[in-house]
Amino acid sequence: MAEGSRASPLAFGQVVIGPPGSGKTTYCQAMQEFLARLGRSVAVVNLDPANEAPPCPCALDIGELVTLPDVMASLGLGPNGGLLYCMEYLQANADWLRDRLQALRGHYVLFDCPGQVELYTHHEALKNVFAQLAKWNFRLAAVHLVDSHYCTDPGKFISVLCTSLSTMLHVELPHVNVLSKMDLIEQYGKLAFNLDYYTEVMDLSYLVDHLASDPFFRNFRRLNEKLVEVIEDYSLVSFVPLKVQDKESMRQVMQAVDKANGYSFGDQEHRSLEALMSAAVGADFHFSSTLAVQEKYVQSQEKAVEEEVMDL
C-alpha cells in the first residue's frame, strides 16, 4: 500500500500519553473492556519498549521490533537515552508499524505510549510517528493522563498545567487531558479549592495568591504570575476527572475522546451504552463531569472531620 493511500479505510483510536505512573496501561485495559462491552472491536498496541510484560493482551507490541533493555545493553545508554533511541528507531522503521497495523483495520486502537515527558514536549520522534499514523488514515485523539494528587499542591499543579500546555502544542493532535486516580484523591489531603476549579482551570490568580502564603514560593511570585499568564493566554487546558472503576466516569472520558477524534457510533452501540449505564445508575441517568466526584470527595472529607471530633 502506498503511504497515505486514500484507499485505506478510516480507523479511529487514542494515543495514551503522560508521565510515568499516571496510569496509562491501566487506562488502556479499562477502556478496552468498557468499549468492548459497547460492541466496539478494540485493539491495544503497546508502544512502550520499557513495558515488557503488559498486564493485558496486546494486538501489537513494539517489543517485537526493539526493547529498552536490549538498547541499553548494546549501546551503553541509560533509561532516558535508551527510550529516546527506541522511539527514533520506531520512526525509522515506520514500515514495520504500518504493515503490522494493517491486520487491525476495522478495530478501534488504543496506543499505550511511553512515560517519558520529553517525548511529548520537545522530542520529535513520537510526534512524527503520530503524523505518520494520520497519513495512514488513523483519526486519533491524544489522551494525556495526569495523576490527580498534583491538585493538592498548588506549585505542582502549575507545573502540570505548563507540561500539559506544552504537550498539547507539541503533539499536534486533538487533545483530552485527564485527571487519573480520582478514587485516591482524598488520600492526598484536602484541596485548596473545589474540584471544578482544577478541572475547568478557572482564574489562576487565586492559585498564585495561595502559593504566596508559602514563604518558599513567596520569592517566586512574579515567576508564577508569568507562568499563569501564559496558560491563561492560550486558554486550552482543562481536565476530565477519571475513576477507572466507575462506569459514569469512563463514559464521560469516552464521550470527550469521541468528540475530539470525530468518532461517530451507530445505533447498536448507543443502545448498548444506554443499557450499560442504566444497569449502573438507573434509567434516568444524568452525569456532570465533576459533580459526582466532587460530592464523594466532600463526603470523605466531612467523614474524616467527624472522626477527628469523635476522637477528641
Q: Note the pLDDT of residue 289.
A: 47
In a domain, 213, yes or no: no
Q: Which of 207, 212, 214, 211 is nearest to 228 (CA)?
A: 207
Contact 146, 19 (CB under 8 A): yes
In a domain, 227, yes or no: no
Q: Note the pLDDT of residue 252.
A: 93
For residue 234, the surrounding DSSP H or E stretch is helix 221-234
In a domain, 173, yes or no: yes
**Segments of the chain with pLDDT less than 50:** 1-5, 281-289
Query: From CA 234, how far away is CA 284, in angstroms rounded?
Result: 37
In a domain, 295, yes or no: yes
Give pTM, 2 decimals.
0.83
Q: Note the pLDDT of residue 293.
A: 58
In a domain, 209, yes or no: no
In a domain, 85, yes or no: yes
Contact 16, 32 (CB under 8 A): no
In a domain, 256, yes or no: yes
Q: Note the pLDDT of residue 283.
A: 38
For residue 179, the surrounding DSSP H or E stretch is strand 175-180
In angstroms, the Cα distances linking 134 to 6, 16, 24, 30, 139 are: 12, 15, 21, 25, 6
Q: Note the pLDDT of residue 4.
A: 47
- 56 CB neighbour count, 10 Å cutoff: 15
For the domain that residue 47 is a member of, what is the CATH number? 3.40.50.300
- Look up the domain containing 57 and give its range: 11-201+237-269+276-311
* Overall number of domains in the chain: 1
In a domain, 210, yes or no: no
Contact 118, 155 (CB under 8 A): no
